[in-house]
Amino acid sequence: MFQGTGSDVGKSLIVAGLARAFTNRGLRVRPFKPQNMSNNAAVTVDGGEIGRAQELQARAARAPPSVHMNPVLLKPQSETGAQIVVQGRVYATAKAAAYQELKPQLLKAVLDSFGHLQAEADLVLVEGAGSASEINLRANDIANMGFARAANVPVILIGDIDRGGVIASLVGTKAVIDPADAVLVAGFLVNKFRGDPVLFASGMEEIARATGWDALGLVPFFAEARLLPAEDALALDHARVTKSAARIRIVVPILPHIANFDDLDPLEAEPAVQLIRLRPGTALPGNADLVILPGSKATVADLATLRGAGFDIDIAAHVRRGGRVLGLCGGYQMLGRRVADPDGIEGPPGVVPGLGLLDAETTLAPHKRLEPVSGETHDGAPFAGYEMHMGITTGPDCARPFAKLTDGTPEGAMSADGRVFGTYIHGLFSDDRQRAAWLALLGAGPAAIAYEPLIDDALDRLAAHLAGHIDLDRLLSLAR
């Protein structure tokens, strides 16, 4: 089990790289994360949802994604706390304090899913969540040491040297955790190192001396991680490179409850696209070619934030200038005339006005649609993607569907002038055919990359990178 001294230390990436490395050795590998908190989710082959990072890790292991790879998924909402997904299906909604009471009940499902993976694999690589040193949450823990103790799994602790203080974070973890938990730690890794490793050799020795844990590797920073889908919304704040070859500007307002933001990754990978992420407090550029409103786990709350930031005024001006707007899932719901929440799914029951850029309205409903889908968009371009949403959208603009599914079902909506589009389909831009159609529409020329091979190549290079700095045989000797 790979735990971290904090969030965003590289746990997900290391598990993905090791999954590919051990799979390339001929082992049947499965990734597992007992509890995940993320609004970046993926649809599984067994009809549920898991964290996007576990889907990437399954891909690295060349295994179909399963609900058992992430049995507890917490999806933060607004006033109602977090939606709790257990083995792929919505189980409950709870605020933080109430969730702590629920965790002992969920351990059974976690261990059940772990057993499923053990039965089909030679090696299960387990990823912890957040920080192993959150001793205030240890009593009912199912994500870190609580799971490790229950399943008798050895732990590798990961520290991030890029953020500073890695010696203190690793030694401090040993100092604060329960001694019975510390016994499970078999060693540590230091991740994201930059520079001459000789300069940190004494640092590795000091950590080993102070903790009694084995130093298992100093892993250099892997720049190509930017090509792989990120799980944590912290990645949205990382600095972006200005592209000299960019011919079009795609602008994305980043709102507090953004979901499935990996929809944007294939666009960012295109040399011709400058993808501009805007936080509230920044004006939308007047020369944008396309505005994308991404998915949201709390449409009503994010719509209020969007208005409070003045983005609604900027987007309306963009449309008046002839610009295009695409709403994905929650972003689609925001584009309509109103959003109704009669059952209080996202907060107090009520109705709020939408942006009015589509003649349609949405009613939030408790049933969640989780389906892989394929078909053609209104321009005849094929696509394959997935739906993951709660709500039904209807209205005159739905008579001009954005897409038609393979079974003939109309999907989404389009404005009368053909410049505003709404759809519940995620993963559109991962399909090279669909991305090429959008780039052509915006005047950027043909797509320059094949996205799926790009991801697989990056995983292979990540596996080689880790194999060059971690003793894989030593890791296997520690597994039990």
Catalytic annotation, residues: 329, 426
Q: Which of 57, 78, 79 is nearest to 69 (CA)?
A: 57
Gap between the Cα atoms of 123 and 190, Å rounded:
23
Rounded to 10 degrees, the C-alpha dihedral 361/387/118/218 comes to -90
> Could you tell me if 225 and 13 are in contact, meaning their C-beta atoms sit under 8 angstroms apart?
yes
Element (H, E) at 54: helix 52-60
Q: Rounded to a whole number, what is the distance in angstroms from the first to the last CA of the chain? A: 11
N residues, the chain:
480
Gap between the Cα atoms of 185 and 142, Å rounded:
17
Q: Determine the residue type at 179.
A: P
Return the sign of the alpha-carbon dihedral for residues 206, 211, 214, 216: negative
Q: Determine the residue type at 359.
A: D
Q: What are the φ and ψ backbone dihedral angles of 399, each rounded to 5 degrees?
A: -70, -15
> Could you tell me if 269 and 50 are in contact, meaning their C-beta atoms sit under 8 angstroms apart?
no
Gap between the Cα atoms of 324 and 292, Å rounded:
9
Rounded to 5°, the CA angle 44-23-469 comes to 120
Q: How far is CA 176 from CA 12, 168, 181, 259, 269, in A?
A: 24, 12, 10, 34, 42
223-236 burial, b at 16+ Cβ within 10 Å, e below that, comes to eebebbbbbebebe
Residue 239: partners with Cβ closer than 8 Å, 6 or more residues away: none
